[in-house]
Chain A
Amino acid sequence: MIVQAIFYFFAAVLVLSAALVITVRNPVHAALFLVLAFFSSAAIWLLLEAEFLAIALVLVYVGAVMVLFLFVVMMLDINLAPLREGFARYLPLGIAVALLMAVAMGLVVASGYFDARFPPRAGEAGPAASNTLELGHAMYTDFLYPFEIAGAILLVAIIAAIALTMRKPRTLKTPRPEKQIVARREERVRLVKMEAEKR
């Protein structure tokens, strides 16, 4: 009973904040609502006894990705007016497409073809079971090979990001300490004797 109440509370917060993400005008507020949405879904995951995923979501998405996102949103200073142009013009088409998609989804979901037969529902694991341990076991035994490939993919992403954004050092305006320390006073300072001006 209490669990259900908690679920409905977080689910309501999640749906509300997700709706606000795309309706509020201020992008910073939208990003903050997205944080709230992530946070509520983490709470729902906790209810499902998936504590590792919940913590990872908070740490990775809320802690790292969204903070970065906020920085970008604040720095870019996007002018939203041109983005909103033509909203009214495309609204009928948008509504038609949305309705069509809703009907199609309803047909597919109601058809019963997507009854989940596999995998069987996991039972209650009890407080002693550790999600992290289980995931770790699976990752380093059954799924070792995919895990290693994922590591290689991340490495490629790093290489690509650096290769595509880093300019050669000569185009950077960095000071050259080795040249600075060999500079002598005569090269930099010129003492000029001037006649005193008459008042």
Chain B
Amino acid sequence: MIWAPLAPEIALLSAACLLLIIDTLSRDEKRRLTYWLGLAALILSAVLVLAFSPLEPVVLLHGHYVSDPMSAVLKEAICVITIAVFFYAYDYFEEHGLLQGEFFVLSLFAVLGMMVMVSAHSLLTVYLGLELLSLSLYALVAMHRDSPTASEAAIKYFVLGALASGMLLYGMSMLYGVTGTLELPAVSAVIAQEAGRNLILVFGLVFVIVGIAFKLGAVPFHMWVPDVYEGSPTAVTLFISSAPKIAAFAMAIRLLVDGMAPLVSDWQGMLIILSLLSMAAGNVIAISQTNIKRMLAYSTIAHVGFLLLGILSGTRTGYAGSMFYVLVYALMSIGAFGMVILLGRHRFEADRLDDFQGLSRRSPWFAFIMLILMFSMAGAPPLIGFWAKWFVIKEVIAAGYVWLAVLAVTFSVIGAYYYLRIVKLMYFDEPTHLTALKASQEMRFILSLNGLAVLLLGFMPGLLMAVCVQAMRM
């Protein structure tokens, strides 16, 4: 079967269309059926990804689609992360009276867009996958129509996202103009033949990098991140902060490594600047935040800085380190936002830092889970977050940028302050009230699993790292 590698995408698209019809016909106010079928669709595509994971790259559909070990690992991760997102989101929407079947349908389309990006083999596919993902996300942010902050966040996200897409497309048009092909390896091959530096190529590269930086949320293209994270319903923030980052990482690898590898010395310098600024601004501004969603937004920016470290080292092991980082980051991020959802009550968002005061009295177990997540984000050994930082910093040193590694460690020490402040609030401050946590059994179970995964993976980082190295082999 020549089409077999496409099975996860085909299944997901069919399932999303089917779910749309079923949701329209369903009269259930609780949207139970939509929720479970959405989960089933994700599990099905995760299984199909596993079943058809290739050992060698397979290029299909006239060079627009590729299925390789990297795409298989990233797709699997996207599906698993989104399954967890669904569990958290259902609880949130039910508690806040925002249940709409469209959340699940649009999320499935967003996952499809991410899969398209991950498996992109041509400039056109990268762009279309990105648009499919972004359009779904804009709509998800705006879903809570009666909230002015959500509408504001949606408009900001939409306008800046459209601008970034335009930049990316502009850069791609230049690349196409110079190389005369859309296929990424062919673009790379033509660039390699090019004698000397071609100015249009560098122009194109700059615009493409701006597009990637916007989507990742790297400084100085990070303006949308805090507002969108704060304004969106927490369940949507949770989604935006996790799986799409994996897709953006894939986009960066596809465009920079697959498509513009001969220009590595050009994009390395640009990424160093983005990375440094992101780590500095993210970690320092996060300290002054009082809203936890905003704080986590700046923490995301800082993590993106670290993520770029691996890519800019320009080696296969460096890319593997970045891949490890993005997977770990997505896992920690859904955990942290899951805690915000857990603490929320009916029509009340627990999004201030003070809401975490004295959590250890109210629920020692979940205070412990949050403790693991925060320590891991800060990069304390032996948690998985430490290993993520360790691998990328090792690669940066191997690439010869010792000063960059020193700065990265310094910024992560600065960053540790605001993560530990939450631990202090939970364990050493008096609670303002002692109401029990209100959350479904599923939510509690998945969140505990999430926290424990961060803890246990920290004891065997080699396992995940081996997968990443294997995926990045080619």
Chain B, Cβ-Cβ closest to A120? B180
A116-B177, A145-B64, A152-B109 known; A157 vs B132 contact (CB < 8 Å): no
> Which of A116, A150, A152, A157 gathers most chain B CB within 10 Å?
A152
Q: How far is the CB of B431 from chain A (nearest CB, A)?
A: 38
Chain A, Cβ-Cβ closest to B61? A145
Chain B, Cβ-Cβ closest to A165? B145
Q: B178 interface residue, CB < 8 Å from A? A: yes
User: 11 interchain pairs (CB within 8 A)?
Assistant: A118-B177, A118-B178, A144-B61, A144-B62, A149-B125, A152-B113, A156-B106, A159-B20, A160-B142, A163-B106, A164-B142
Q: Contact mask A95-133 → B, CB, 8 Å, 1/0?
A: 000000000000000010110111100000000000000
> Which of A118, A149, A153 gathers most chain B CB within 10 Å?
A149
Kindly state the separation between the CA atoms of A164 and B143 in the bound complex, as whole angstroms: 6
Chain B, Cβ-Cβ closest to A149? B128
Chain A, Cβ-Cβ closest to B151? A164
Q: Are B138 and A160 in contact (CB under 8 A)?
A: yes
Q: Are B112 and A152 in contact (CB under 8 A)?
A: yes
Contact of B128 among A111, A117, A119, A150 (CB under 8 A): A150
Kindly state the separation between the CA atoms of A163 and B20 in the bound complex, as whole angstroms: 12
Q: How far is the CB of B266 from chain A (nearest CB, A)?
A: 16
Chain B, Cβ-Cβ closest to A163? B102
Kindly state the separation between the CA atoms of A97 and B176 in the bound complex, as whole angstroms: 29
Q: Are A114 and B116 in contact (CB under 8 A)?
A: no
A113-B200, A146-B124 known; A159 vs B13 contact (CB < 8 Å): no
Q: How far is the CB of A75 from chain B (nearest CB, A)?
A: 22
**Which residues between 91 and 114 of chain B lie within 8 Å of chain A, taking CB atoms?**
100, 102, 105-106, 109, 112-113
Contacts of B64 in A (CB 8 A): 143, 145-146
Q: Are A119 and B136 in contact (CB under 8 A)?
A: no
The size class of the interface chain A forms with chain B is: 20 to 34
Q: How far is the CB of B121 from chain A (nearest CB, A)?
A: 9
Q: Contact mask B168-204 → A, CB, 8 Å, 1/0?
A: 0000000001111000000000000000001110000
A153-B135, A156-B136 known; A141 vs B62 contact (CB < 8 Å): yes
Q: B349 interface residue, CB < 8 Å from A? A: no
Contact of B102 among A113, A144, A159 (CB under 8 A): A159
Kindly state the separation between the CA atoms of A118 and B112 in the bound complex, as whole angstroms: 33
Interface of A is mostly: helix
**Which residues between 105 and 160 of chain B lie within 8 Å of chain A, taking CB atoms?**
105-106, 109, 112-113, 116, 122, 124-125, 128-129, 131-132, 135-136, 138-139, 142-143, 145
Kindly state the separation between the CA atoms of A159 and B112 in the bound complex, as whole angstroms: 15
User: A116-B177, A146-B64, A157-B135 are known contacts; what are 12 more A-B pairs with Cβ within 8 Å?
Assistant: A114-B200, A117-B180, A118-B179, A118-B180, A144-B61, A149-B125, A152-B13, A152-B109, A152-B113, A153-B128, A163-B102, A164-B143
Q: Are A163 and B128 in contact (CB under 8 A)?
A: no
Q: A195 interface residue, CB < 8 Å from B? A: no
Q: How far is the CB of A156 from chain B (nearest CB, A)?
A: 5
The size class of the interface chain B forms with chain A is: 35 or more
Q: B65 interface residue, CB < 8 Å from A? A: yes
Chain B, Cβ-Cβ closest to A162? B102
A116-B177, A152-B112 known; A159 vs B105 contact (CB < 8 Å): yes
Kindly state the separation between the CA atoms of A145 and B3 in the bound complex, as whole angstroms: 12
Chain B, Cβ-Cβ closest to A146? B124
Chain B, Cβ-Cβ closest to A112? B199
Q: Pick the 7 closest A-B CB pairs, nearest first.
A: A118-B180, A160-B139, A163-B102, A145-B61, A149-B128, A145-B64, A142-B62
Contacts of B135 in A (CB 8 A): 153, 156-157, 160
Q: How far is the CB of A150 from chain B (nearest CB, A)?
A: 6
Q: Are B129 and A156 in contact (CB under 8 A)?
A: no
Contacts of A152 in B (CB 8 A): 13, 109, 112-113, 132
> Which of A111, A118, A145, A153 gathers most chain B CB within 10 Å?
A145
Q: How far is the CB of B254 from chain A (nearest CB, A)?
A: 15
Q: How far is the CB of A143 from chain B (nearest CB, A)?
A: 7
